[in-house]
Chain A
Amino acid sequence: MKKILITLCLLILLGCSEESASPNTTSEAISGSGTTGQGGSLARFTIAKNHLYVATSSELFTYSLAKSNQPTFLKKIDLSAGVETIFSLGNYLYLGTQNGLLIFNITNASSPTFTSNYWHITSCDPVVANQNYAFVTLRDGSECRRGQNRLDVIDIRDKTNPRQVSSTILTQPIGLGIYNDLLFVCDNGSIKCFTIATPTNPLLQSVTQLAGVFDIIINRDYLLAVHSLGVAQYSIARNGTLTLQSTITTD
């Protein structure tokens, strides 16, 4: 992650300013309760309960969005190094790290408090969750040489005591997303669909080939898959079958 942060540190290119003159395509403003978007499972930013949480490799930053135009920094929590992803659901944040899963309570959104962790062998791992289970992929890779390649399901009904309930060997899993009782996992150039109706025993339903796929977003009944050469969008059938709708590709 240090690498990513250094990368982040940029390349500031001043310039390149062809101001546009095309017609305005302003979207309808949605006021009131607040509209937020949705990132993939590899995100380091998440918005929950009107707060922005940012996970760097070794810190969790909390900003209040009470003034949307000017986030107010509230808190920095030091974490063990190797944090890679953040996911929020309800009153909890789930952080995927190279050593395991960290759970924070955001009942008081301004001040996340550490709830528990689930440690595993050093691997790279994003995490997604529903109310009862967290799904974590572990993979080896340049930064995780001792890693394993598997999908772990962790019972989080008791947030203070996460327990692994199953582990499925995969090839090189990375991003993942939940759609009702289905779990889609990017694994070595394919999107694998598991039924998680019985979370203790995820069953492979179908496989969709997509070279270089590394993360997905499930948005309503669509699955957006990002891969090394672009983005592919699929509609999701009830049984998990994906039907390609469109692709956006690199030059």
Chain B
Amino acid sequence: MNNIIVFLILLIILPSACTEREVQETVLGLRPVYGTINDLRASIKTIESMPMKTVGKIYVYEDKLLINEVTKGVHIFDNSNPKSPIPIKFITIPGNLDIALKDNFMYADMGIGLATIDISNLNQIVVTSFDNNHVSKENMLNPTSEAIRLIPTERAYFECPDISKGIILNWEIHQMPKPECYVTH
């Protein structure tokens, strides 16, 4: 008789204990997507001009007007006649906010580094250098503010980055065991 009672109690307790543990330890968090410098380089390219959405800083170079699309890249206009600027191309540069140009080379920040892009032929731009050795570790390892915004909770948990897996290209949102790393909104 005692055995039956113990068995019944176990039947009730065990499943609820499991559920409780799951609720406690799983969170909606951010997971880094790792890649290589080559993946980053490949993300820099010219595409057809497109409408502006979020206007950033501007830059004038020779007869060109360059307008930053915040964190996306740069709109390029032929501005030889300021009465009618003509859109030429859009250069995708993920993370970009600032640029400077000299001798047809564009220097552009990508958040985790400095890209140098030969724009002498806009149909075939070439990334000639990428320097990600001089940006502080913190900037490289924390999720982007865009990514953090996807997390509704006050603490945005993220899988602690493992730099041996490569550089972080992006962050994805996943249900995951509660990681140690988090930032507070």
Tell whether A pairs with B. Answer: yes
Q: Assuming A30-B103, A69-B129, is B170 touching A222 (CB within 8 A)? A: no
Q: Assuming A8-B111, A24-B122, A229-B55, is B82 touching A43 (CB within 8 A)? A: no
Question: With a CB–CB cut-off of 8 A, which chain B residues contact A80?
Answer: none
Tell me if B158 counts as interface (CB < 8 A to partner A): no
Give Cα distance in the complex from A248 to B81, angstroms.
Answer: 13
Q: Assuming A6-B144, A20-B89, A42-B57, is B43 touching A13 (CB within 8 A)? A: yes
Q: Taking CB as reference atom, which chain A residue is nearest B129?
A: A70
Q: Assuming A14-B42, A71-B131, is B60 touching A35 (CB within 8 A)? A: no
Identify which of B84, B95, B133 contacts A10 (C-beta below 8 A): B95
A226 touches B169 (CB 8 A): no
Within the complex, what minimum Cβ distance (angstroms) separates B99 from chain A?
6
Question: With a CB–CB cut-off of 8 A, which chain A residues contact B21?
Answer: none
* A159-175 interface code vs B (CB 8 A; 1 in, 0 out): 00000000000000000
Within the complex, what minimum Cβ distance (angstroms) separates A213 from chain B?
11
Give Cα distance in the complex from A68 to B53, angstroms.
Answer: 31
Within the complex, what minimum Cβ distance (angstroms) separates B68 from chain A?
9
Considering only CB atoms and an 8 Å cut-off, how many residues of chain B contact the other chain? 82
* Total A-B residue contacts, Cβ distance less than 8 Å: 243
Considering only CB atoms and an 8 Å cut-off, how many residues of chain A contact the other chain? 71
Residue picked from B51, B54, B85, B89, most chain A C-beta under 10 Å: B85
Question: With a CB–CB cut-off of 8 A, which chain B residues contact A233?
Answer: 79, 82-83, 85
Give Cα distance in the complex from A246 to B81, angstroms.
Answer: 10
> Can you spell out 6 A-B residue pairs with CB atoms less than 8 angstroms apart?
A8-B97, A9-B139, A10-B71, A34-B102, A52-B100, A233-B82
Beyond contacts A54-B114, A61-B134, A217-B59: 12 other A-B pairs, Cβ-Cβ < 8 A, are A5-B139, A13-B43, A14-B43, A36-B102, A36-B103, A37-B61, A45-B107, A47-B102, A71-B116, A233-B83, A233-B85, A248-B67
Write the residues of chain A forming the contact surface with B, with a CB cutoff of 8 angstroms: 3-20, 22, 24-27, 29-31, 34-40, 42-47, 52, 54, 56, 59, 61, 63, 65, 68-71, 73, 76, 215, 217, 219, 222, 224, 226-231, 233, 235, 245-246, 248-251
